[in-house]
Chains A and B, each alone.
Chain A
Amino acid sequence: MPHSPRRRDFLQAALAAGVGLLLPGAAAAPAPILTRPIPSTGEALPLVGLGSWITFNVGDDAAARDACAEVMRNFFAAGGRLIDSSPMYGSAPAVIGYGLARLGAAGRVFAADKVWTASASRGPAQIEESRRHWGVSRFDLLQVHNLLAWEAHLPALFAMKAAGRLRYVGITTSEGRRHAEFERIMASQPLDFIQVTYNALDREVEAHILPLARERGMAVIVNRPFRQGALVDAVARRPLPAWAAEIDCASWAQLLLKFIVSHPAVTCAIPATTRVDHVLENLGAARGRLPDEAMRRRIAAEVGRL
Protein backbone atom coordinates (compact mmCIF):
# COMPACT_ATOMS: atom_id res chain seq x y z
CA MET A 1 0.00 0.00 0.00
CA PRO A 2 1.39 3.43 -0.90
CA HIS A 3 2.57 5.58 1.96
CA SER A 4 3.39 9.26 1.99
CA PRO A 5 6.21 10.25 4.31
CA ARG A 6 6.65 14.00 4.16
CA ARG A 7 10.10 15.52 4.00
CA ARG A 8 9.86 16.77 7.57
CA ASP A 9 8.93 13.30 8.77
CA PHE A 10 12.36 12.19 7.78
CA LEU A 11 13.80 14.02 10.79
CA GLN A 12 11.96 11.70 13.10
CA ALA A 13 13.19 8.68 11.22
CA ALA A 14 16.75 10.04 11.14
CA LEU A 15 16.66 10.81 14.84
CA ALA A 16 15.30 7.38 15.57
CA ALA A 17 18.09 5.85 13.52
CA GLY A 18 20.63 8.01 15.35
CA VAL A 19 19.33 6.94 18.72
CA GLY A 20 19.52 3.37 17.55
CA LEU A 21 23.15 3.82 16.66
CA LEU A 22 23.89 4.96 20.19
CA LEU A 23 22.53 1.76 21.65
CA PRO A 24 24.89 -1.18 21.10
CA GLY A 25 23.10 -3.95 19.31
CA ALA A 26 19.92 -1.92 19.01
CA ALA A 27 20.30 -1.26 15.31
CA ALA A 28 22.43 -2.37 12.44
CA ALA A 29 25.19 -0.04 11.26
CA PRO A 30 24.06 2.20 8.41
CA ALA A 31 24.89 1.07 4.93
CA PRO A 32 28.17 2.51 3.71
CA ILE A 33 27.96 5.68 1.67
CA LEU A 34 28.12 4.98 -2.03
CA THR A 35 30.88 6.59 -4.03
CA ARG A 36 31.90 6.84 -7.64
CA PRO A 37 35.41 7.42 -8.92
CA ILE A 38 36.53 10.65 -10.54
CA PRO A 39 37.53 9.27 -13.94
CA SER A 40 40.76 11.25 -14.29
CA THR A 41 42.26 10.01 -11.00
CA GLY A 42 40.09 7.24 -9.58
CA GLU A 43 39.53 9.23 -6.38
CA ALA A 44 36.20 8.21 -4.84
CA LEU A 45 33.51 10.83 -4.25
CA PRO A 46 30.26 10.25 -2.33
CA LEU A 47 27.29 10.27 -4.68
CA VAL A 48 25.66 13.17 -2.85
CA GLY A 49 27.32 16.49 -2.08
CA LEU A 50 26.10 19.85 -0.85
CA GLY A 51 25.20 22.90 -2.92
CA SER A 52 25.12 26.41 -1.49
CA TRP A 53 23.09 28.47 -4.01
CA ILE A 54 20.71 30.72 -2.04
CA THR A 55 20.74 28.54 1.06
CA PHE A 56 24.15 29.62 2.38
CA ASN A 57 23.92 33.26 1.31
CA VAL A 58 22.95 34.55 4.75
CA GLY A 59 25.39 37.44 5.07
CA ASP A 60 26.71 38.13 8.55
CA ASP A 61 23.61 36.85 10.34
CA ALA A 62 25.24 34.94 13.20
CA ALA A 63 22.28 32.68 13.91
CA ALA A 64 21.87 31.78 10.24
CA ARG A 65 25.61 31.14 9.90
CA ASP A 66 25.50 28.80 12.86
CA ALA A 67 22.55 26.98 11.27
CA CYS A 68 24.56 26.54 8.06
CA ALA A 69 27.51 25.23 10.08
CA GLU A 70 25.17 22.73 11.70
CA VAL A 71 24.04 21.55 8.27
CA MET A 72 27.70 21.12 7.32
CA ARG A 73 28.46 19.25 10.55
CA ASN A 74 25.72 16.75 9.82
CA PHE A 75 26.75 16.56 6.18
CA PHE A 76 30.29 15.55 7.12
CA ALA A 77 29.10 13.25 9.90
CA ALA A 78 26.90 11.42 7.41
CA GLY A 79 29.82 10.87 5.08
CA GLY A 80 29.52 13.85 2.72
CA ARG A 81 32.59 15.50 1.21
CA LEU A 82 31.95 17.75 -1.79
CA ILE A 83 30.62 21.26 -1.16
CA ASP A 84 30.05 23.51 -4.17
CA SER A 85 29.86 27.27 -4.31
CA SER A 86 30.55 30.29 -6.51
CA PRO A 87 31.47 33.95 -6.21
CA MET A 88 28.03 34.54 -7.74
CA TYR A 89 26.39 33.17 -4.59
CA GLY A 90 26.92 36.28 -2.48
CA SER A 91 28.19 35.46 0.99
CA ALA A 92 27.95 31.67 0.53
CA PRO A 93 31.73 31.08 0.19
CA ALA A 94 32.36 33.08 3.37
CA VAL A 95 29.62 31.19 5.20
CA ILE A 96 31.14 27.88 4.09
CA GLY A 97 34.50 29.13 5.37
CA TYR A 98 32.88 30.00 8.68
CA GLY A 99 31.47 26.50 8.95
CA LEU A 100 34.74 24.82 7.98
CA ALA A 101 36.66 26.84 10.55
CA ARG A 102 34.12 26.14 13.25
CA LEU A 103 34.11 22.41 12.48
CA GLY A 104 37.83 22.16 11.81
CA ALA A 105 36.87 20.53 8.53
CA ALA A 106 39.04 22.40 6.02
CA GLY A 107 41.08 19.24 5.51
CA ARG A 108 38.06 17.01 5.10
CA VAL A 109 36.02 18.91 2.53
CA PHE A 110 36.24 18.42 -1.21
CA ALA A 111 36.20 22.14 -2.00
CA ALA A 112 34.54 22.98 -5.30
CA ASP A 113 34.22 26.62 -6.29
CA LYS A 114 34.01 28.57 -9.52
CA VAL A 115 35.43 31.51 -11.35
CA TRP A 116 32.72 33.93 -12.45
CA THR A 117 33.87 37.10 -14.11
CA ALA A 118 33.89 38.39 -17.67
CA SER A 119 37.34 39.81 -17.07
CA ALA A 120 40.26 37.47 -17.71
CA SER A 121 42.61 39.55 -15.58
CA ARG A 122 40.19 39.56 -12.64
CA GLY A 123 40.02 35.74 -12.51
CA PRO A 124 43.09 35.02 -10.33
CA ALA A 125 42.18 37.71 -7.80
CA GLN A 126 38.63 36.40 -7.59
CA ILE A 127 39.87 32.84 -7.05
CA GLU A 128 42.24 33.99 -4.32
CA GLU A 129 39.46 35.95 -2.64
CA SER A 130 37.24 32.85 -2.73
CA ARG A 131 40.06 30.70 -1.30
CA ARG A 132 40.46 33.12 1.60
CA HIS A 133 36.71 33.00 2.21
CA TRP A 134 36.78 29.20 2.33
CA GLY A 135 39.94 29.13 4.45
CA VAL A 136 41.41 26.22 2.50
CA SER A 137 45.01 25.91 1.32
CA ARG A 138 43.81 25.20 -2.22
CA PHE A 139 40.65 24.28 -4.03
CA ASP A 140 40.07 20.70 -5.08
CA LEU A 141 37.98 21.79 -8.04
CA LEU A 142 37.55 25.09 -9.84
CA GLN A 143 34.94 25.43 -12.56
CA VAL A 144 34.21 28.14 -15.08
CA HIS A 145 30.76 29.28 -14.00
CA ASN A 146 28.19 29.07 -16.80
CA LEU A 147 30.97 29.21 -19.40
CA LEU A 148 31.53 32.90 -18.66
CA ALA A 149 34.77 33.92 -20.44
CA TRP A 150 35.83 30.27 -20.52
CA GLU A 151 38.40 30.87 -23.27
CA ALA A 152 40.34 33.09 -20.88
CA HIS A 153 39.79 31.23 -17.63
CA LEU A 154 40.39 27.61 -18.66
CA PRO A 155 44.08 28.10 -19.58
CA ALA A 156 44.62 29.83 -16.24
CA LEU A 157 42.95 26.95 -14.38
CA PHE A 158 44.99 24.34 -16.25
CA ALA A 159 48.14 26.31 -15.35
CA MET A 160 47.09 26.30 -11.68
CA LYS A 161 46.57 22.55 -11.86
CA ALA A 162 49.97 22.00 -13.49
CA ALA A 163 51.58 24.07 -10.74
CA GLY A 164 49.92 21.95 -8.05
CA ARG A 165 47.70 24.78 -6.83
CA LEU A 166 44.52 23.04 -7.95
CA ARG A 167 43.52 19.40 -8.31
CA TYR A 168 40.72 19.41 -10.86
CA VAL A 169 39.33 21.71 -13.57
CA GLY A 170 35.77 21.92 -14.81
CA ILE A 171 33.01 23.92 -16.47
CA THR A 172 29.40 24.43 -15.50
CA THR A 173 26.06 25.24 -16.97
CA SER A 174 22.54 25.09 -15.59
CA GLU A 175 19.01 24.67 -16.83
CA GLY A 176 20.04 23.69 -20.32
CA ARG A 177 21.94 26.86 -21.22
CA ARG A 178 24.43 26.77 -24.11
CA HIS A 179 24.57 22.98 -24.34
CA ALA A 180 25.93 22.99 -27.89
CA GLU A 181 28.88 25.16 -26.89
CA PHE A 182 29.26 23.11 -23.71
CA GLU A 183 29.67 19.94 -25.78
CA ARG A 184 32.24 21.59 -28.04
CA ILE A 185 34.32 22.56 -25.00
CA MET A 186 34.01 19.06 -23.57
CA ALA A 187 35.24 17.64 -26.86
CA SER A 188 38.24 19.94 -27.09
CA GLN A 189 39.44 20.52 -23.53
CA PRO A 190 40.99 18.06 -21.04
CA LEU A 191 38.42 18.70 -18.32
CA ASP A 192 38.21 16.67 -15.12
CA PHE A 193 34.64 17.72 -14.26
CA ILE A 194 31.52 19.09 -15.82
CA GLN A 195 28.47 20.39 -13.95
CA VAL A 196 24.99 20.35 -15.46
CA THR A 197 21.32 20.38 -14.50
CA TYR A 198 19.75 16.93 -14.48
CA ASN A 199 16.70 15.45 -12.80
CA ALA A 200 13.76 13.23 -13.59
CA LEU A 201 12.13 16.03 -15.62
CA ASP A 202 15.13 17.90 -17.04
CA ARG A 203 16.79 15.10 -19.01
CA GLU A 204 18.24 16.84 -22.03
CA VAL A 205 21.81 15.99 -20.95
CA GLU A 206 21.08 12.27 -21.36
CA ALA A 207 21.20 12.66 -25.13
CA HIS A 208 24.73 13.93 -25.68
CA ILE A 209 26.43 15.47 -22.66
CA LEU A 210 26.36 12.52 -20.27
CA PRO A 211 27.51 10.00 -22.91
CA LEU A 212 30.24 12.42 -23.96
CA ALA A 213 31.37 12.77 -20.34
CA ARG A 214 31.73 8.99 -20.10
CA GLU A 215 33.55 8.82 -23.39
CA ARG A 216 35.92 11.63 -22.42
CA GLY A 217 36.44 10.41 -18.85
CA MET A 218 34.92 13.43 -17.09
CA ALA A 219 33.24 13.45 -13.71
CA VAL A 220 29.71 14.88 -13.66
CA ILE A 221 28.25 17.06 -10.92
CA VAL A 222 24.49 17.55 -11.09
CA ASN A 223 22.95 20.82 -9.96
CA ARG A 224 19.30 21.73 -9.35
CA PRO A 225 18.30 18.12 -8.60
CA PHE A 226 15.04 19.35 -7.10
CA ARG A 227 14.51 22.38 -9.37
CA GLN A 228 15.25 24.54 -6.35
CA GLY A 229 12.77 22.63 -4.22
CA ALA A 230 9.86 22.98 -6.62
CA LEU A 231 10.11 19.38 -7.80
CA VAL A 232 9.94 17.97 -4.27
CA ASP A 233 7.02 20.25 -3.46
CA ALA A 234 5.20 19.09 -6.58
CA VAL A 235 5.65 15.36 -6.06
CA ALA A 236 5.12 15.47 -2.30
CA ARG A 237 1.43 16.09 -2.90
CA ARG A 238 1.16 12.48 -3.93
CA PRO A 239 1.92 9.37 -1.88
CA LEU A 240 5.32 7.83 -2.28
CA PRO A 241 4.96 4.67 -4.41
CA ALA A 242 5.33 1.46 -2.43
CA TRP A 243 7.99 0.28 -4.88
CA ALA A 244 10.29 3.07 -3.63
CA ALA A 245 11.15 0.75 -0.76
CA GLU A 246 12.66 -1.69 -3.27
CA ILE A 247 15.53 0.78 -3.73
CA ASP A 248 15.66 1.85 -0.07
CA CYS A 249 13.96 5.19 -0.58
CA ALA A 250 11.99 6.55 2.35
CA SER A 251 10.96 9.81 0.69
CA TRP A 252 10.35 11.52 -2.64
CA ALA A 253 13.58 13.50 -2.21
CA GLN A 254 15.55 10.26 -1.99
CA LEU A 255 13.72 8.81 -4.98
CA LEU A 256 14.50 11.91 -7.04
CA LEU A 257 18.15 11.85 -5.99
CA LYS A 258 18.55 8.13 -6.64
CA PHE A 259 17.21 8.64 -10.14
CA ILE A 260 20.02 11.13 -10.75
CA VAL A 261 22.96 9.36 -9.12
CA SER A 262 22.05 6.00 -10.62
CA HIS A 263 22.92 7.30 -14.06
CA PRO A 264 26.31 5.71 -14.70
CA ALA A 265 27.86 8.95 -15.94
CA VAL A 266 26.90 10.93 -12.84
CA THR A 267 29.51 11.30 -10.11
CA CYS A 268 27.70 13.45 -7.59
CA ALA A 269 24.45 15.41 -7.10
CA ILE A 270 24.56 18.60 -5.06
CA PRO A 271 21.21 19.45 -3.45
CA ALA A 272 21.26 22.60 -1.33
CA THR A 273 19.44 22.98 1.96
CA THR A 274 19.31 24.99 5.15
CA ARG A 275 17.92 22.10 7.17
CA VAL A 276 19.67 19.34 9.05
CA ASP A 277 16.87 16.85 8.47
CA HIS A 278 17.01 17.50 4.74
CA VAL A 279 20.79 17.12 4.50
CA LEU A 280 20.55 13.78 6.32
CA GLU A 281 17.72 12.73 4.07
CA ASN A 282 19.74 13.72 1.00
CA LEU A 283 22.81 11.79 2.15
CA GLY A 284 20.52 8.83 2.69
CA ALA A 285 20.10 8.69 -1.08
CA ALA A 286 23.77 7.74 -1.30
CA ARG A 287 23.12 4.53 0.63
CA GLY A 288 21.42 1.26 -0.12
CA ARG A 289 20.23 -0.04 -3.45
CA LEU A 290 20.23 2.09 -6.57
CA PRO A 291 17.58 1.78 -9.28
CA ASP A 292 18.35 -0.26 -12.36
CA GLU A 293 17.38 0.95 -15.82
CA ALA A 294 13.84 -0.39 -15.58
CA MET A 295 13.34 1.26 -12.23
CA ARG A 296 14.80 4.52 -13.53
CA ARG A 297 12.19 4.51 -16.31
CA ARG A 298 9.54 3.86 -13.71
CA ILE A 299 10.66 6.83 -11.60
CA ALA A 300 10.79 9.14 -14.62
CA ALA A 301 7.32 8.03 -15.67
CA GLU A 302 5.94 8.52 -12.17
CA VAL A 303 7.43 12.00 -11.83
CA GLY A 304 6.45 12.90 -15.38
CA ARG A 305 2.82 12.14 -14.60
CA LEU A 306 2.71 14.70 -11.81
Chain B
Amino acid sequence: MSEWWTYGLSDLLLFSPSTYYRLLERYNLAVWPAQPIFLALGLALPFLLRRGRMAAAILAAAWLWVAWKFHLRHYAGINWAADYFAAAFFVEAALLVWVGVIRKELRPRLPGHGIELAAIGIYLLALLAWPAIAPVEGRPWPQAEVFGAAPDPTAVATLAIALLGSPPARWLLLPIPLLWCAVGGATLWAMQAPHAFALPLAAALTLVLAFVPGRRQS
Protein backbone atom coordinates (compact mmCIF):
# COMPACT_ATOMS: atom_id res chain seq x y z
CA MET B 1 0.00 0.00 0.00
CA SER B 2 1.36 3.38 -0.92
CA GLU B 3 0.06 5.40 2.03
CA TRP B 4 0.95 3.34 5.08
CA TRP B 5 1.96 6.44 7.00
CA THR B 6 -1.64 7.63 7.00
CA TYR B 7 -2.78 4.57 8.98
CA GLY B 8 -2.96 4.46 12.74
CA LEU B 9 -2.38 1.32 14.78
CA SER B 10 -6.08 0.67 15.15
CA ASP B 11 -6.52 0.85 11.36
CA LEU B 12 -4.11 -2.04 10.95
CA LEU B 13 -5.83 -4.29 13.45
CA LEU B 14 -7.80 -6.77 11.37
CA PHE B 15 -9.65 -8.58 14.14
CA SER B 16 -11.32 -7.96 17.45
CA PRO B 17 -9.60 -8.79 20.75
CA SER B 18 -12.18 -11.50 21.43
CA THR B 19 -11.41 -13.11 18.07
CA TYR B 20 -7.67 -13.10 18.86
CA TYR B 21 -8.15 -14.57 22.32
CA ARG B 22 -10.53 -17.19 20.97
CA LEU B 23 -7.86 -18.07 18.41
CA LEU B 24 -5.31 -18.54 21.21
CA GLU B 25 -7.76 -20.79 23.02
CA ARG B 26 -8.61 -22.92 20.00
CA TYR B 27 -4.91 -23.12 19.09
CA ASN B 28 -3.94 -24.25 22.58
CA LEU B 29 -6.57 -26.97 22.53
CA ALA B 30 -5.46 -28.07 19.06
CA VAL B 31 -1.76 -28.42 19.92
CA TRP B 32 -2.07 -29.84 23.43
CA PRO B 33 0.18 -31.28 24.96
CA ALA B 34 2.82 -29.23 23.17
CA GLN B 35 2.64 -26.63 25.94
CA PRO B 36 3.85 -28.78 28.88
CA ILE B 37 6.51 -30.33 26.66
CA PHE B 38 7.89 -26.92 25.67
CA LEU B 39 7.54 -25.69 29.23
CA ALA B 40 9.63 -28.63 30.46
CA LEU B 41 12.24 -27.98 27.78
CA GLY B 42 12.23 -24.31 28.71
CA LEU B 43 12.76 -25.10 32.39
CA ALA B 44 15.63 -27.42 31.49
CA LEU B 45 17.28 -24.85 29.24
CA PRO B 46 19.03 -22.77 31.97
CA PHE B 47 20.67 -25.96 33.21
CA LEU B 48 21.90 -26.68 29.68
CA LEU B 49 23.64 -23.35 29.20
CA ARG B 50 27.07 -24.99 29.43
CA ARG B 51 25.99 -26.95 26.40
CA GLY B 52 25.13 -24.06 24.15
CA ARG B 53 24.13 -26.37 21.32
CA MET B 54 21.31 -27.90 23.34
CA ALA B 55 20.02 -24.51 24.39
CA ALA B 56 20.09 -23.29 20.79
CA ALA B 57 18.37 -26.45 19.60
CA ILE B 58 15.52 -26.00 22.08
CA LEU B 59 15.02 -22.39 21.03
CA ALA B 60 15.19 -23.33 17.34
CA ALA B 61 12.51 -25.99 17.88
CA ALA B 62 10.30 -23.40 19.58
CA TRP B 63 10.64 -20.88 16.72
CA LEU B 64 10.04 -23.59 14.15
CA TRP B 65 6.91 -24.77 15.95
CA VAL B 66 5.47 -21.27 16.34
CA ALA B 67 6.16 -20.47 12.67
CA TRP B 68 4.48 -23.60 11.45
CA LYS B 69 1.72 -24.33 13.93
CA PHE B 70 0.78 -20.90 15.19
CA HIS B 71 1.44 -18.46 12.36
CA LEU B 72 0.78 -20.61 9.31
CA ARG B 73 -1.87 -22.98 10.62
CA HIS B 74 -3.85 -20.68 12.89
CA TYR B 75 -2.98 -16.98 12.91
CA ALA B 76 -3.03 -16.80 9.10
CA GLY B 77 -6.77 -17.49 9.31
CA ILE B 78 -7.40 -13.98 10.62
CA ASN B 79 -4.24 -12.10 9.63
CA TRP B 80 -2.88 -12.12 6.11
CA ALA B 81 0.44 -10.82 7.46
CA ALA B 82 0.95 -14.08 9.38
CA ASP B 83 2.69 -15.60 6.35
CA TYR B 84 5.38 -12.95 6.70
CA PHE B 85 5.58 -13.50 10.44
CA ALA B 86 6.05 -17.23 9.81
CA ALA B 87 8.87 -16.49 7.37
CA ALA B 88 10.64 -14.37 9.99
CA PHE B 89 10.20 -17.09 12.62
CA PHE B 90 11.61 -19.71 10.21
CA VAL B 91 14.61 -17.46 9.63
CA GLU B 92 15.20 -17.12 13.39
CA ALA B 93 15.00 -20.91 13.76
CA ALA B 94 17.55 -21.27 10.96
CA LEU B 95 19.82 -18.69 12.58
CA LEU B 96 19.66 -20.54 15.89
CA VAL B 97 20.55 -23.80 14.17
CA TRP B 98 23.36 -22.20 12.16
CA VAL B 99 24.86 -20.06 14.91
CA GLY B 100 24.11 -22.18 17.94
CA VAL B 101 24.01 -25.78 16.81
CA ILE B 102 26.28 -25.99 13.76
CA ARG B 103 28.86 -23.26 14.51
CA LYS B 104 28.55 -23.55 18.30
CA GLU B 105 28.89 -19.78 18.65
CA LEU B 106 26.07 -19.09 21.10
CA ARG B 107 28.35 -19.96 24.07
CA PRO B 108 25.98 -18.54 26.68
CA ARG B 109 27.67 -16.96 29.66
CA LEU B 110 26.61 -18.49 32.94
CA PRO B 111 24.83 -16.25 35.40
CA GLY B 112 27.21 -14.60 37.80
CA HIS B 113 27.03 -10.91 37.15
CA GLY B 114 24.22 -8.40 37.22
CA ILE B 115 23.54 -8.38 33.51
CA GLU B 116 23.47 -12.15 33.25
CA LEU B 117 21.20 -12.40 36.25
CA ALA B 118 18.90 -9.83 34.70
CA ALA B 119 18.82 -11.89 31.51
CA ILE B 120 17.89 -14.99 33.44
CA GLY B 121 15.21 -12.95 35.19
CA ILE B 122 13.73 -11.94 31.84
CA TYR B 123 13.90 -15.57 30.75
CA LEU B 124 12.03 -16.80 33.80
CA LEU B 125 9.41 -14.10 33.35
CA ALA B 126 8.85 -15.29 29.78
CA LEU B 127 8.61 -18.86 30.96
CA LEU B 128 6.60 -18.56 34.15
CA ALA B 129 4.86 -15.18 34.18
CA TRP B 130 3.63 -15.09 30.59
CA PRO B 131 1.21 -18.02 30.96
CA ALA B 132 -0.36 -16.25 33.94
CA ILE B 133 -1.25 -13.13 31.93
CA ALA B 134 -4.52 -14.59 30.64
CA PRO B 135 -5.98 -15.52 34.05
CA VAL B 136 -4.66 -12.31 35.62
CA GLU B 137 -6.57 -10.40 32.96
CA GLY B 138 -9.67 -12.44 33.71
CA ARG B 139 -9.43 -14.69 30.70
CA PRO B 140 -9.58 -18.50 30.93
CA TRP B 141 -6.44 -20.63 31.27
CA PRO B 142 -6.84 -22.18 27.82
CA GLN B 143 -5.90 -18.74 26.45
CA ALA B 144 -2.54 -18.87 28.24
CA GLU B 145 0.55 -18.11 26.16
CA VAL B 146 3.31 -20.62 26.79
CA PHE B 147 6.95 -20.55 25.71
CA GLY B 148 7.48 -22.64 22.58
CA ALA B 149 3.81 -22.66 21.67
CA ALA B 150 3.00 -18.94 21.54
CA PRO B 151 5.10 -16.27 19.83
CA ASP B 152 5.35 -13.63 22.56
CA PRO B 153 6.99 -15.64 25.37
CA THR B 154 9.13 -17.46 22.80
CA ALA B 155 10.49 -14.15 21.52
CA VAL B 156 11.14 -12.78 25.03
CA ALA B 157 12.87 -15.98 26.17
CA THR B 158 15.09 -15.82 23.10
CA LEU B 159 16.00 -12.22 23.84
CA ALA B 160 17.24 -13.31 27.26
CA ILE B 161 19.31 -16.23 26.01
CA ALA B 162 20.74 -14.16 23.16
CA LEU B 163 21.80 -11.57 25.76
CA LEU B 164 23.83 -14.29 27.46
CA GLY B 165 25.46 -15.25 24.18
CA SER B 166 28.74 -14.17 22.66
CA PRO B 167 28.58 -10.83 20.79
CA PRO B 168 28.50 -12.18 17.22
CA ALA B 169 25.74 -14.66 18.07
CA ARG B 170 23.89 -12.09 20.12
CA TRP B 171 23.65 -9.55 17.33
CA LEU B 172 22.57 -12.18 14.84
CA LEU B 173 19.87 -13.57 17.07
CA LEU B 174 18.42 -10.39 18.59
CA PRO B 175 16.88 -8.53 15.59
CA ILE B 176 13.96 -10.85 14.80
CA PRO B 177 12.76 -11.26 18.42
CA LEU B 178 13.12 -7.48 18.86
CA LEU B 179 11.10 -6.96 15.70
CA TRP B 180 8.43 -9.33 16.98
CA CYS B 181 8.27 -7.37 20.24
CA ALA B 182 7.46 -4.30 18.14
CA VAL B 183 4.87 -6.07 15.97
CA GLY B 184 3.27 -8.05 18.79
CA GLY B 185 3.35 -5.06 21.11
CA ALA B 186 1.68 -2.87 18.50
CA THR B 187 -1.01 -5.48 17.96
CA LEU B 188 -1.73 -5.74 21.68
CA TRP B 189 -1.65 -1.95 21.98
CA ALA B 190 -4.25 -1.64 19.21
CA MET B 191 -6.29 -4.30 21.01
CA GLN B 192 -5.98 -2.20 24.18
CA ALA B 193 -4.70 -5.28 25.99
CA PRO B 194 -3.63 -4.47 29.56
CA HIS B 195 -0.29 -6.24 29.04
CA ALA B 196 0.53 -4.41 25.80
CA PHE B 197 3.51 -2.78 27.52
CA ALA B 198 5.21 -6.11 28.27
CA LEU B 199 6.76 -6.86 24.86
CA PRO B 200 8.13 -3.33 24.27
CA LEU B 201 9.43 -3.28 27.85
CA ALA B 202 11.24 -6.59 27.37
CA ALA B 203 12.73 -5.29 24.12
CA ALA B 204 13.85 -2.03 25.71
CA LEU B 205 15.40 -3.84 28.69
CA THR B 206 17.23 -6.17 26.34
CA LEU B 207 18.66 -3.31 24.31
CA VAL B 208 19.79 -1.49 27.44
CA LEU B 209 21.45 -4.61 28.81
CA ALA B 210 23.04 -5.37 25.44
CA PHE B 211 24.69 -1.96 25.35
CA VAL B 212 25.74 -1.76 28.99
CA PRO B 213 29.47 -0.97 28.95
CA GLY B 214 31.89 -3.34 30.58
CA ARG B 215 30.12 -6.54 29.69
CA ARG B 216 31.93 -9.33 27.94
CA GLN B 217 33.05 -8.38 24.48
CA SER B 218 34.12 -11.81 23.23
Residues of A within 8 A of B (CB): 54-55, 57-61, 64, 88-91, 118, 146, 148, 175, 177-178, 228, 274
Contacts between the two chains (Cβ within 8 Å), count: 49
Q: Which residues from chain B sit less than 8 Å from chain A, CB to CB?
A: 1-3, 6, 10-11, 13-16, 19, 22-23, 26, 74, 77-80
Please name the 5 residue pairs, one residue from A and one from B, whose CB atoms are nearest each other, closest first: A59-B77, A59-B78, A90-B14, A57-B15, A90-B78
Q: A90-B79, A90-B80 are in contact. Are A58 and B19 (CB under 8 A)?
A: yes
Given A90-B78, A90-B79, A90-B80, A57 and B3 contact (CB-CB distance below 8 Å): no
Contact sample, A vs B, 22 pairs, CB 8 Å cutoff:
A54-B14, A55-B16, A57-B19, A58-B15, A58-B19, A59-B23, A60-B77, A61-B19, A61-B26, A88-B80, A90-B15, A90-B79, A91-B77, A91-B78, A118-B1, A118-B2, A146-B1, A146-B3, A148-B1, A148-B2, A177-B6, A178-B3
Residues in B neighbouring A175, C-beta threshold 8 A: 6, 11
Instruction: Tell me, rounded to whole Å, the shortest Cβ–Cβ distance linking B80 to chain A.
Output: 6
Nearest A residue (CB) for B1: A148
Known: A58-B19, A90-B78, A228-B10. 5 other contacts (CB 8 A): A54-B14, A55-B16, A60-B77, A148-B2, A175-B6
Which residue of the partner chain B has the closest CB to A87?
A: B80
- The residue that A59 contacts in the complex, of B6, B11, B19, with Cβ under 8 A, is B19
Determine the distance from Cα of A24 to Cα of B95 in the docked complex, in whole angstroms: 73
**Bound-complex Cα distance A217 to B79 (A):** 37
Q: How far is the CA of A90 from the CA of B82 in the complex (A)?
A: 11
Greatest chain B CB density within 10 A among A55, A59, A61 is at A59
A146–B79 alpha-carbon span in the complex (Å):
19
Contacts of B1 in A (CB 8 A): 118, 146, 148
Q: How far is the CA of A59 from the CA of B15 in the complex (A)?
A: 9
Q: In the docked arrangement, what's the CA distance between A175 and B16, Å?
A: 19
Cross-chain contact of A57 among B6, B74, B78 (Cβ < 8 A): B78
Closest beta carbon of chain A to B1's beta carbon, Å = 6
* Contact for B13 among A54, A59, A118, CB less than 8 A: A54
Closest Cβ of chain B to A125, distance in Å, is 15
Most buried by A among B13, B74, B77: B77
Task: Give, as a whole number of angstroms, the nearest-CB distance from B70 to chain A.
Answer: 13
B78 cross-chain contacts in A, Cβ below 8 A: 57-59, 90-91
Query: B14's closest neighbor in chain A, by CB?
Result: A90
Between B11, B15, B79, the greatest number of chain A beta carbons within 10 A of the residue's beta carbon is seen for B15
- For B6, list chain A residues within 8 Å (CB): 175, 177
A118 CA to B15 CA, complexed, in Å: 23
Complex contacts, B2 vs chain A, CB 8 Å: 118, 148
Q: Is the CB of B26 within 8 A of A57?
A: no
Query: Cβ of B26: which chain A residues have Cβ within 8 Å of it?
Result: 61
A228 surroundings in chain B (CB, below 8 A): 10
Among A58, A88, A146, A274: residue with most chain B CB under 10 A: A58
Tell me which of B3, B74, B78 has the highest count of chain A C-beta atoms within 10 A of its own C-beta.
B78
